[in-house]
Amino acid sequence: MIKKCRHCSEKLGFEIIDLGNQPPSNNYLSKDQLDGREITYPLVLYLCNKCGLVQLPETLKPKELFTENYAYFSSTSDSWCQHAKDFVEKAIKELSLNKNSFVVEIASNDGYLLQYIKGKEIPCLGIEPTTATANESRKKGIETIEQFFGSDLAKSLRKADLVIANNVIAHVPDINDFVKGISNILKEDGFASIEFPHLFNLLKFNQFDTIYHEHYSYLSLESFRQIALKSNLDIINVEKLNTHGGSLRVWLTHTNKSSINKNVNNILEIEAANKITSPEGFKSFRKNVEKIKYSLIKYLINEKEKNNLVAGYGAAAKGNTLLNYSGVKVDLLEFIVDRAKSKQGMYMPGSHIPIYDIKALKSYKPDTLLVLPWNLINEIKKQQKNYKLVTSIPNLKVHS
């Protein structure tokens, strides 16, 4: 099968890394499913030599990944909710949003952000395809359309003063249609705010565990700029964020409707200097990833030989990529704890490591916690002060 770029349709020729065949990272298993057949799919990352978009070929459709029982609930993270609240306060002030404005969030999840918009009595709408999270959003009183977003849906909706799309642009196979939908729904003088993990940080900090089937695209500012221009949208400003290991918040308007902040060119220049839209920028990535794998395995084996109990903390999707690529199973990591009730009592895909309630820590008293959502390490340090914490990304580190 010829693999083509989802933006420019060029044949994909440069393979960045092959992480093997893996199950979808959010396909957590019940006990009854453990004896059944678990389907895996290739997890191979490519670079488009023409437009510089880093991507996975579409091996799974969104409906196969984002099911009605989708297990990720944004509100589980206190720091992420605070991030959303801070954004809302800033956006209301800078864009002069009020009761006559209209805000739309795409991939609104469980209402983690729109609850703060609604709290200011600003009309809003959530668009969320997964039933479990959409229902949680509705419990907060937020009107929610339970569909995948695209240009056709956008045409049927009221035009918005502000469109928000946090950590969703990477999740759509038809990225051109998605951005066209944003252009369709945006008022002539409206703004869109889109957040996504920055490809620059994936390379700089060896964040290979953020590669999984749900993430079809891995964006640089330059590659996203080209996608936005195709739908007549300008990137007018960009902010660096600490979320998800280093993200960008990109502000968009209709073409030629606003001046462009110097921040945009500054980041484009950094990307160009590091050659992240060409094969040269990826020359050491594979070796760095292999070092992380070997370091983790060695650490867990050493702890096992010392009769020390290591448990996982946070059954994050990125943790599944790390564990399955490294071949870690219950013999080295006996269980994982997680705050999300949707994951408790389930098993990690691939590795089949059981997931328990946080309360299990008191019963089992592990010597060490391997923190899988390393991007939340500062939050977890405050929550679990009595444990030795270990992270694998960007390299193995013991947090005292």
Question: Partners of 165 in the beta sheet?
Answer: 106, 194
Residue by residue, pLDDT tens for the chain (400 residues) are 679 999 999 999 899 999 999 999 989 999 999 999 999 999 999 999 999 999 999 776 766 766 666 657 888 888 899 999 999 999 999 999 999 999 999 999 999 999 999 999 999 999 999 898 999 999 999 999 999 999 999 999 999 999 999 999 999 999 999 999 999 999 999 999 999 999 999 999 999 999 999 899 999 999 999 999 999 999 999 999 988 889 999 999 999 888 899 999 999 999 999 999 999 999 999 999 999 999 999 999 999 999 999 999 999 999 999 999 999 999 999 999 999 888 999 999 999 999 999 999 999 999 999 999 999 999 899 999 889 999 999 999 999 7
**Token couple for 131:** 């039933």
CATH superfamily of 298-399: NAD(P)-binding Rossmann-like Domain (3.40.50.720)
Which alpha helices (DSSP H) does the chain contain, by range?
A: 62-65, 78-95, 114-119, 131-139, 151-155, 175-185, 199-204, 221-230, 262-274, 285-305, 317-326, 360-364, 377-383
d(C-alpha 392, C-alpha 372), whole Å: 8
CATH topology agreement for domains 74-282 and 298-399: yes
Q: What is the pLDDT of residue 84?
A: 95
d(C-alpha 159, C-alpha 153), whole Å: 12
Q: Into which CATH architecture does domain 74-282 fall? A: 3-Layer(aba) Sandwich (3.40)
d(C-alpha 100, C-alpha 43), whole Å: 46
Q: Where are the domains of the chain?
A: 74-282, 298-399
- Characterise 232 by phi-psi region: left (phi > 0), alpha (psi -120 to 50), beta (else): left
Tally of CB atoms within 10 A around 94 = 10
Q: What is the side-by-side order of every strand in the sheet holding 310-313?
A: 355-356, 336-337, 310-313, 368-371, 388-391, 397-399
**Token couple for 369:** 């916690």
Find all residues with CB under 8 Å of 346, minimum gap 6, and list them: 28, 29, 30, 71, 315, 354, 355
Q: What is the pLDDT of residue 273?
A: 96
Tally of CB atoms within 10 A around 155 = 10
d(C-alpha 111, C-alpha 235), whole Å: 26
Q: What is the pLDDT of residue 128?
A: 95
Q: What is the pLDDT of residue 102?
A: 98
Residue given tokens 């196979």 in the structure block:
173
Q: What is the pLDDT of residue 69?
A: 62
